């Protein structure tokens, strides 16, 4: 049994049992508070080292008193979660999501880049515990990360940081869900993929013409991207079984959104595909795009590099594969296709098409201007109606 005794201005707790003496200040001048603390201590000791009261007592008692009584009860110090613990747990979570088809392997790989970079930053800051990772620290990481991104040859600057922040926010959301931290210390920097200042970056007609002239061995890659708008990962994974020559269509489930797209094959692309099929006589399971330099399967990084090199030969800066997607979307809208048609072609949502492509099509803006200038609006309609209404004389009162 624990007894209380007032020493000086504060109460102390004393426990004498089996030749052992445990004591310590309760840190209070109130006898009522002292008795409540002693009651909690007695209950925690009876319940044993796994009692949930130990966590509460750790915050209520002076540290030396808590240590004396918790040691007596055999309470083991709780291990605080570290960044390595979170990294390991999130890695297992990602693997499960990939196996369930809920997360693309390429997305998981991109997560790993940000996690590795943040780990390097924490090592430089000598931070290991999650409780030491707060918002000011994360904001310093963002500055550090942008500097590293800008040192790269093909820097994405702030847009790369947006994605890093989103990934790191998801990692710490996992930590919150698993009670490793109380709150998420990462502030988002916008939604990945959004670029309100620049929006779509379609090629001009002259740029497309110059690249077609300088394509050389990269012609099939150029035409496939130009006339399908496939993302780079879908272009390099396209197999001959997905190319249906009998109906001149490509049918594929996109990797990012898992949407089935059926793409009509443009005549220019169809001819190039037929020539390539006859040249290689490949099996249906073989990939359509091969690396001209090695004859092996094309990879996404190599596709990116070869398109940049093609753009350089043609005098077109920044000719990365995604710009062909922008080009097809804007081209279709300019020809009169609806956002619905473009969304179906790209395997995207109508909202995405309207947000990223429609505002940057000059022809659409001119069409709206023409409607406003020549059409009959509500003011004109009211004026015409009033002029055509017959004047009926009023009856004398």
Q: Is 219 helix (H, G, I), strand (E, B) or coil?
A: helix
| 71 sits in which H/E element | helix 63-73
Res 58: pLDDT:
86
Q: What is the pTM of this model?
A: 0.58
CA atoms within 13 Å, Cβ hemisphere of 281: 0
| Alpha carbon distance 259, 253 (integer Å) | 5
Q: In which band, very low, low, confident or very high, does the pLDDT at 112 lie, cut at 50, 70 and 90?
A: very high
Contact yes or no for 330/204 (Cβ under 8 A)? no
| Alpha carbon distance 265, 280 (integer Å) | 20
Q: In which band, very low, low, confident or very high, does the pLDDT at 363 lie, cut at 50, 70 and 90?
A: low
pLDDT digits (tens, 9 = 90+) for 57-87: 888 999 899 999 988 888 887 788 999 999 9
Handedness of CA 117, 78, 28, 10 (dihedral sign): negative
93, two tokens? 């979570």
pLDDT digits (tens, 9 = 90+) for 249-290: 999 998 887 889 999 999 999 999 999 999 999 899 999 999
Q: In which band, very low, low, confident or very high, does the pLDDT at 157 lie, cut at 50, 70 and 90?
A: very low
pLDDT digits (tens, 9 = 90+) for 10-68: 999 999 887 788 999 999 999 999 999 999 999 998 998 888 888 888 889 998 999 99
Start-to-end CA span in the chain (Å):
106
231: exposed, middle or buried (C-beta count within 10 Å: 0-12, 13-18, 19+)?
buried
Which value, to the nearest 10 degrees, does the dihedral of the CA atoms of residues 97, 99, 105, 110 take? 30
Which value, to the nearest 10 degrees, does the dihedral of the CA atoms of residues 337, 334, 202, 245 take? 50
Per-residue pLDDT at 327 exceeds 80: yes
Res 196: pLDDT:
46
Per-residue pLDDT at 237 exceeds 70: yes
Average pLDDT over residues 380-384: 68
User: What percent of the chain clears pLDDT 90, i.e. is strictly above it?
Assistant: 53
| Alpha carbon distance 133, 62 (integer Å) | 26
| Residues in a beta bridge with 396 | none
């Amino acid at each position: 049994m624990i007894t209380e005794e007032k020493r000086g201005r504060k109460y102390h707790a004393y426990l004498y049992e089996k030749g052992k003496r445990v004591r310590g200040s309760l840190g209070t001048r109130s006898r009522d508070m002292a008795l409540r603390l002693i009651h909690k201590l007695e209950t925690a000791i009876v319940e044993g080292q796994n009692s949930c009261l130990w966590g509460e007592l750790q915050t209520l008692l002076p540290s030396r008193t808590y240590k004396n009584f918790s040691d007596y009860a055999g309470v083991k110090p709780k291990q605080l979660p570290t960044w390595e613990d979170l990294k390991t747990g999130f890695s297992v979570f990602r693997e499960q999501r990939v196996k369930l088809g809920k997360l693309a392997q390429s997305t998981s790989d991109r997560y790993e880049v940000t996690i590795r970079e943040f780990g390097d930053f924490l090592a430089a800051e000598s931070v290991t515990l999650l409780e030491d990772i707060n918002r000011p620290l994360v904001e310093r990481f963002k500055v550090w990360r942008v500097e590293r991104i800008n040192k790269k040859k093909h820097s994405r600057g702030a847009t790369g940081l947006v994605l890093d922040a989103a990934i790191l926010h998801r990692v710490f959301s996992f930590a919150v869900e698993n009670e490793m931290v109380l709150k998420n210390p990462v502030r988002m920097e916008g939604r990945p993929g959004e670029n309100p200042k620049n929006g779509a970056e379609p090629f001009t007609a002259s740029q497309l013409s110059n690249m077609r002239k300088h394509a050389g061995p990269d012609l099939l890659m150029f035409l496939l991207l130009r006339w399908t708008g496939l993302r780079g990962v879908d272009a390099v994974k396209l197999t001959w079984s997905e190319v249906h020559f009998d109906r001149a269509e490509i049918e594929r489930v996109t990797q990012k959104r898992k949407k089935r797209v059926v793409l009509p094959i443009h005549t220019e692309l169809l001819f190039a595909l037929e020539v390539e099929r006859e040249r290689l006589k490949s099996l249906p399971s073989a990939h359509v795009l091969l690396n001209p330099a090695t004859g092996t399967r094309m990879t996404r990084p190599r596709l990116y590099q070869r398109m940049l090199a093609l753009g350089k030969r043609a005098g077109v800066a920044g000719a990365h594969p995604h710009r062909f997607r922008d080009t097809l979307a804007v081209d279709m809208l300019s020809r009169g296709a609806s956002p619905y048609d473009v969304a179906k072609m790209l395997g995207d949502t109508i909202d995405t098409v309207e947000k990223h492509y429609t505002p940057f099509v000059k022809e659409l803006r001119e069409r709206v201007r023409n409607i406003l200038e020549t059409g009959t609006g509500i003011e004109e309609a009211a004026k015409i109606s009033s002029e055509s209404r017959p004047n009926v004389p009023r009856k004398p009162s």
